Chain A
Amino acid sequence: MTLHPMGIELLQLILLPLLAPAFVGWVKIVKCRMQGRTSPGLLQPYRDIRRLFIKDVVLADNASWIFRVTPYLAFGVILMTAGIIPLISVDLPLAATADIIALVMLFAIVRFFTALAGMDIGTAFGGMGSSREMMISSLAEPAMLMAIFTVSLASSSTSLTQMVSVMANGHFMIRPSLAFSLIAFILIALAETGRIPVDNPATHLELTMIHEAMILEYSGRYLALIEWAGMMKLMVFFSLGIAAFLPWGIAGSGDPLSLLLRGLFFVAKLAVGGVVMVLIETGLAKMRIFRLPEYLGSAFLLATLGMIAFFILE
C-alpha cells in the first residue's frame, strides 16, 4: 500500500505546524541543560500558544487593517512553504509550484508585511524594529541566494525536489563548495530566524530588540499566530538546510512504514541540528547591531568562496 502524493503533501502540511513548537521546546530544553537551568519541558511552547489564543486582543488605537491582516498572512505563507520543502518525500505536487528563488521571495513577503505592521502603530519601537530587520534581511538576502545557488549548481537545477533527488542518489563525494555554502547558510539562517549572535529571541530589553520590537504591540491570538509562524519559520529553515545539505533519507517510496521511518530519521536530524544551534547560541554573545554588516558580509564572502571552489575544483 502506498500513500497518494497528495496525502503525503497533506501530511507535511499538518506535520510542520504540529512539530514546530516541539522543536522550539527541544531547543529550549537543550539550552537550559547547557546553561545549568531547569527546563520548562517539551510542551511549554504548545501551552504558550494555547494561552495566547485564549487571551483577549488589545489593539493600539491607530492600528490599521495592515496590522490585523499581517499575522494571518505570515502564518499562511509560512505554512505554504511547508508544502514546498521536501521533508519526508520528494514526491510532492506542491513542490513543483515553487523553486528556491520563489521560496526566498515567500520569506520576503512575510518580512515586508511584518515590517509594515511594525510601522503601523506609530511608536519608536515598531519603526526601530522594522528598520533593523530590513537592514539585516536586505544584506542577508544576497548571501542566502549565493549559498543556495552553489548547491543548485551541483545538481543543475533550482527546483528543490530535483536538488534533493540528485544529491541523494548521486555518488557521495566530498564537495568543498558545499562546505563553504553550509557555513554561509548557517550564518544566514541564524540571522534570518533572529537567533544569537544576531538577535536574542528571549530579550525584551528595548535597545537590543530587533524582531521582538517589530511585534511588540501584538497580543492575544494575533501574537499567538505570529509566534507560531516564527516557530514554523525556524523549523522551515532547518528543513531547508537538511534538504540542501543532508538530503539522504528524504526521497523514497510512499508506503506508510517507509514514510514513518523517514519521518523518524528527519526528526533525528532536526534534533541534532537543534543541538548544534544551541552550541552556537551558548558559545557566542549577541553582537552589537552595528557589527552585523560585517557578519553578513563574511557570510556572503564564504558563499562566494563556495561558488569559486565549485568552479575551480568540481
Chain B
Amino acid sequence: MTEELTATLPALLLIGAASLAALSGMPMIVRGVNPRFGQRCATLTLVLAAMAGLGGALVSLLNRSRIVFQLAWPFPFGPAEIGIDPLTAFFSLPILIVALCCSLYALDYWPARDNPRTVRKLTLFFGILVSSMLFVLMARSAGVFLLAWEIMALAAYFVLTTDDHTPEVRDAGTLYLICTHTGTLALFAAFALLKSISGEFTFPGAGSLSAAAPLATAFYLLVLLGFGFKAGIMPLHVWLPSAHANAPSHVSAIMSGVILKIGIYGLVRTLSFFTGIPLWWGMVLLVLGMVSGIAGVLYALGQHDIKRLLAYHSIENIGIITMGIGTALIGASLGSPVLVLLGMAGALLHVLNHATFKALLFLGAGSVIHAAGTREIDHMGGLLRRIPWTAAAFLVGAVAICGLPPLNGFVSELLIYLGFFNGVIDHSGAAAVGLSLAAPALALIGGLAVACFVKVFGVVFLGVPRVPSATVPHEAGGWMRLPMMILAGVCIVIGVAPVAAVPLLDAAVATWYQGPGGYVSLTAVTPLPWITYLAVGLLATALITMLLYRRTLGKSPVTTSATWGCGYLAPDSRMQYTASSFAGALVDLFSGVLCPDRHAPAIKSPFPTRARFESHVPETVLERVYLPVLARVYEKFVPLRRLQNGQVHLYILYTFITLVVLLAIT
C-alpha cells in the first residue's frame, strides 16, 4: 500500500501541477477581473503549480517510478493513456523551473498597468502553454500526444504574437505556424505508421519494436522531420530566429529554453521504442547535430539584434544535444552501454543546462532592452555601470553557454566529449570516424561561441555608450532580478556539484535504453567528482587572488585618466569596435556559408563625402533555399487555386464529397 502510494502521489502531484497551470490564466477571461489582480493571481498559481510539480518530478525521478493511468476515451485513436516515468519527470524539470522564473519575470517586464490590451491574452495562453507541454510529456498514446502537441503549438502562437499590432510580429507568427503545422503533419503520418508497426496507438515500451521492420525507417525519417521542425534542427530552423526575436523576452525564454526541448523529447521518446537500431540512424543525427551546431553559432556571430543572436545560439545548442543523442544511438547500434550512457546523459543534462542558461540570457536580454530601449547591440555600450545586476547575471549565462568551467555548460559538453572519445577508442570503422570528427566540431562550436559572447558582452555592457540615449538606462525591477538570480544559481550549482544530477540522469537514461550490455552508472564511467574539485579550485583561485590584492598591493595609489588613443585627444565613442566590426573577420572567413549582405560605399574622390556602411547576415537558408523553391511550387500550383475561390457553399460541397468518398472506402 505505502509503496503504491509513494509511486502514485508524486505522479498525481505532477498531473495536478499541469492542470493547475492551465487554470492559472482563466480569471483573465472574466471581463470584470482587474488585469493587475489577474496577473498576480496567475503568477501565484503558476509558481505554486511549478513548486508542486518540481517536488513530484524529483521524487518520482529518484524512485524511478513508472505509472500509467488509463482514461475513458470513447473516440477512435484510443485508448488514451497518460503516464509518468523517469524520462517524463526529467524533461518536466526544465519546464517547471523556466515557467516559474518567466511568470515571475512577467510581473515587472509586462506589467498589466502598461499593457492593458495584451496582458489578458498573454497570461491566459502562457498558463495553457506550460500545461500543454507537461501533458505532451505525460502522453502515452498517439491521440493524447497529438492533442496536447497541437494545443501547445497554438498556445505558443498566441503568446508569441502578443504584440500583434506590429507587422514583423505577425509575420514571425505566421512563419512559425506554417512550420509547426508542417511538422505536425509529419507526426500524424508517423503515428499512423507506428500503429501499423506495433498494432496499437499506445506507445510501446522501450526497446520493444525492431528497427529492422520495413516501416521503421520511414517512421524514423518522419519523426526526424516532425520533431526536427519543433526542435529547430538545421535546416528546419527557419521559423526560429524571427519567432524568438519578436516575442516578449520571457516568452522567448520559454520558447528557446523549453519548447525546443519538447521536440528533443519527442525524438528521444520515439527512438526509445526501437531495438536493433542501424548505425546510420545515429550517424544522421550526429551529422545533423554538427551542421546545426556550427552553422548556428556562425549565424549568431553575424547578428546584431541581441534576441536574434540568442535565437541562433539555441540552434547551436540544439545541435550539441543532437550530437549527444546521435552518439547514444551509435552506442545502441554497436551494443555499447558506456557510449549510450555518455551520449544520452550528456544530451539530457545539456537539455536542462541549456534551458537554464538560455532562459537566463533571454531574461537578461529583456532587461537590457528595457534599459536601452532597443534590440540593436551596436547602439548599446557601457551598460555594466548602469545595470550591474543584469550584467552580472548575463555574464554567468555567457560563461555557462560557452561551456567554460566552473559552470554547468562545461559539465554536459564534457560528457559528450568523453562519449566521442570512448567511441573512438573502443570501436572502429564509420562510427569511429564520425565520432572522431565530431570532437573537433564541438571544439569549433565552443571556440566560436566564446568569440560570440565576448562580442555580445563586450559591446552591450563594456566600453562607453555608442549612441547618446534620451533617457538614463535603469536597472531592472525586483521581480525581473529575482528569476535571473534563481537561474544563475541553478547554473552554478550544477556546475559545481554535478554529482547531484547523477541519480536523475541515471534514472532517465536507464528508462531510455534497455538494450544488451546491461546498465552502468554514470559515476562509474565519468570523473564527476573532479569537476567539483576543479570548480572549487577555480572559485578559490579567484577569491585568494582578490584577497591578496586587497591586503598588499591594493593599497598603492591608482590614477585614472583618459584612455590612450595614440596621442589623439578627442576620442569619440563611435571609434569603439562595434559588433559588426568585431565579428567582421570571422564573418568574412565564412562568407560562403553566411552570404552576408553588405552595402559599402565606394571611395571615388580624394575627399570622400559622407557615407554609410551597412552589413547584415540574413536568414540565408530561408531566403536562398526555401523561398525560391516555394515560389516555384506556388507558380506550378496556380491552376489548382481555382478550387479555393472563397465561396463557403462550395467548401461545404467539398467536405460532403470527401465524407462520402471516405464512407465508400471504409
Contact = CB atoms under 8 A, between A and B. Distances in A.
**Do A and B form a real pair?**
yes
A69 to B, nearest CB: 7
B564 interface: yes
Interface in A295-312: 300, 303-304, 307, 311
A77 interface: yes
Contact of A60 (B444, B451, B557, B562): B562
Interface string A138-160: 11111111100100110010110
Contacts of A66: 384, 462
A98 B417 CA distance: 14
A79 B538 CA distance: 11
Interface in B583-621: 583-586, 589
B48 interface: no
Interface stretch (A29-37, A43-51, A109-117, A271-279): A109-117
A305 to B, nearest CB: 12
A60 B443 contact: no
Contacts of B440: 142-143, 145-146, 149, 300, 303-304
A57 B542 CA distance: 21
Highest count of chain A CB atoms <10 Å: which of B446, B447, B566: B447
A123 B573 CA distance: 8
Contact of A119 (B403, B447, B454, B561): B454
A135 B563 contact: no
Highest count of chain B CB atoms <10 Å: which of A60, A63, A122: A122
B404 A116 contact: no
B562 A142 contact: no
Contacts of B410: 102, 105
Interface string B516-552: 0000000000010011011001100110111001000
Contact residues of A: prevailing secondary structure = helix
Interface string A53-66: 10011111111111
Interface string B562-583: 1111100001010111000111
Contacts of B464: 62, 122
Interface in A50-102: 53, 56-66, 69, 72-73, 75-77, 79-80, 94, 96-99, 101-102
A54 to B, nearest CB: 9
A122 B432 contact: no
A60 B560 contact: yes
Nearest to B428: A311
A62 B384 CA distance: 10
A153 to B, nearest CB: 6
Contacts of B643: none
A255 interface: no
A80 B537 contact: yes
A56 B450 contact: no
Given A122-B382, A146-B440, A300-B440, A58 B559 contact: yes
Interface in A157-210: 158-159, 206
B405 interface: yes
Contacts of A220: 556
Contacts of B584: 131
A197 B444 CA distance: 22
A271 to B, nearest CB: 29
A96 B531 CA distance: 10
B523 to A, nearest CB: 15
Contact of A149 (B421, B534, B589): B421
Given A137-B450, A141-B447, A149-B439, A102 B459 contact: no
A12 interface: no
B393 to A, nearest CB: 14
B450 A221 contact: no
Interface string B363-387: 0000000000000000001101100
Interface residues of A, number: 80
B424 interface: yes
B213 to A, nearest CB: 34
Contacts of B527: 96, 99, 159
A131 B577 contact: yes
A275 to B, nearest CB: 31
A239 interface: no
A55 B531 CA distance: 39
A134 interface: yes
A59 B447 contact: no
Contacts of A143: 440
Nearest to A74: B545
Nearest to B561: A58
Contacts of B58: none
B424 A137 contact: no
Measured as residues with beta carbon below 8 angstroms from the partner, the interface class of chain B is 35 or more
B414 interface: yes
B553 A116 contact: no
A111 B553 CA distance: 24
A102 B577 contact: no
A169 B432 CA distance: 27
A127 B581 contact: yes
A97 B530 contact: yes
Contact of A135 (B414, B436, B571, B585): B585
Given A59-B559, A73-B545, A123-B564, A112 B586 contact: no
A268 B128 CA distance: 70
B389 to A, nearest CB: 13
B542 A72 contact: yes
B553 A221 contact: yes
B346 to A, nearest CB: 12
Contacts of A10: none
Interface string B385-402: 100000000000001001
B564 A109 contact: no
A124 to B, nearest CB: 5
Contacts of B581: 127, 131
Nearest to B444: A142
Contacts of B582: 119, 127, 130-131, 134
Given A102-B534, A135-B589, A56 B558 contact: yes
A128 interface: yes
B425 A116 contact: no
Given A61-B561, A141-B446, A134 B462 contact: no
Contacts of B541: 73, 76-77, 79-80
B284 interface: no
A290 B589 CA distance: 9
B441 interface: yes
A22 interface: no
A217 interface: yes
A122 to B, nearest CB: 4
Contacts of A62: 382, 463-464, 563
B418 interface: yes
B274 interface: no
B556 A221 contact: yes
B458 interface: yes
A60 B561 contact: yes
Given A60-B563, A80-B541, A134 B454 contact: yes
18 contacts: A56-B557, A61-B562, A72-B549, A76-B544, A80-B537, A97-B530, A97-B537, A105-B403, A119-B457, A124-B577, A127-B577, A127-B581, A130-B454, A131-B455, A149-B439, A290-B585, A311-B428, A311-B433
Closest 3 CB pairs of A and B: A127-B577, A119-B458, A138-B447
Given A119-B462, A135-B589, 15 more contacts: A59-B559, A72-B549, A97-B533, A109-B538, A122-B462, A127-B576, A131-B582, A131-B584, A139-B444, A142-B447, A145-B440, A145-B443, A149-B440, A217-B564, A303-B440
Interface of A: 53, 56-66, 69, 72-73, 75-77, 79-80, 94, 96-99, 101-102, 104-106, 108-109, 111-112, 115-116, 118-124, 126-128, 130-132, 134-135, 137-146, 149, 152-153, 156, 158-159, 206, 216-217, 220-221, 289-290, 293, 300, 303-304, 307, 311
